[in-house]
Structure 1
Amino acid sequence: MSEHPDCALIRRGYEAFGQGDMEKLSTMMTADVIQHMPGSGPLSGHHKGREAVFDLYRRLGEETNGTFNVHLDKLLADGRGHVMSFHTARADRGDRGIEIHEGIFFTIVAGKISDLDVCTEDIEESDSFWA
């Protein structure tokens, strides 16, 4: 059984993110991509446009001294331009660490990621870590 093309796109995106390859990742996103981050922490909210999304990724790295990483667990496609990913995020920040299950609901338009809606298993824990 071969992987759905939308899942393959998201898998390549996770790989590029993990390698810090923003140039490659930028080719997978629309110019007006939006990433929605849950909660009420300093990184929460709507990050609109490729530059704003990459600034979010830069801040994830800076805030955690480069320890932020995700391990992709599963991808699900609906065949209509949506993919759900499930991953475990890990990071250290100051004297705190976090390991938390998250998911992203992706919208894909014309073979590119146009929307990422992040969900987390514990918004309060996530907010506390990023505060």
Structure 2
Amino acid sequence: MSNIDIAKTYIKAIQTGDQATLGQLISPDVIWHQPGNHQFSGTHRGMAAVGPMLGKMMEVSKGTFAITRADHFMATGDWVAITIEFAGEANGVQLRQPGVDLVRVEGGKIVEVRLFSSDQPQEDAFWGQ
């Protein structure tokens, strides 16, 4: 499977809530860079930290946070850039904005994730402190 195929499978698994596939694709030692200035911001290392963070994000958004669109997948070396749109509702804020997810793939596993938002202040308000 190419790195783009891995990224496409990853996005589809996120969109469908396929935890088994995510568990197969994401390295247990993943490094996750969550941007911004909110309660989830920062660098999280390992699924032992990332898994609970993602669960809490779904709790805060009452299950509404989702990647609503993934348009383009572009690879260079180990990195795949994905143009996305994400949306949800939390803390009284309706969120719908474009972004870019970068995933680094090594040995068929996602080992690093970097996220970019088009309106970081809005996303910060969405997730809250």
How high is the TM-score relative to the length of structure 1? Answer: 0.90
Q: CA deviation at 1:94?
A: 4.1
CA-based RMSD of the aligned residues comes to 1.3
Structure 1 partner of 2:121: 124
Q: Deviation digits for residues 9-37 of structure 1, max 9, x if unmatched?
A: 01101111112122210111111001101
Distance 1:103 1:124 in 2: 16
Distance 1:39 1:94 in 2: 16
- Structure 1: which 5+ residue stretches go unaligned? none
Contact map agreement 1:67 1:92 (CA 8 A) in 2: yes
> Aligned residue pairs: how many?
127
Structure 2 partner of 1:89: 86
Residue aligned with 2:73, SS: strand
User: Which letter maps to 1:14?
Assistant: I
Contact map agreement 1:88 1:102 (CA 8 A) in 2: yes
Distance 1:110 1:35 in 2: 17
Contact map agreement 1:26 1:50 (CA 8 A) in 2: no
Match for residue 108 of structure 1 among 68, 89, 105: 105
Identity %: 24
Residue aligned with 2:111, SS: strand
How high is the TM-score relative to the length of structure 2? Answer: 0.92
Structure 2 partner of 1:77: 75
Structure 1 partner of 2:29: 32
Distance 1:117 1:19 in 2: 21
Distance 1:94 1:49 in 2: 27
Match for residue 38 of structure 2 among 38, 41, 53: 41
Contact map agreement 1:31 1:50 (CA 8 A) in 2: yes
Matched, 1:20 2:17: yes
Contact map agreement 1:92 1:98 (CA 8 A) in 2: yes
Distance 1:54 1:85 in 2: 21
Match for residue 55 of structure 2 among 55, 58, 80: 58
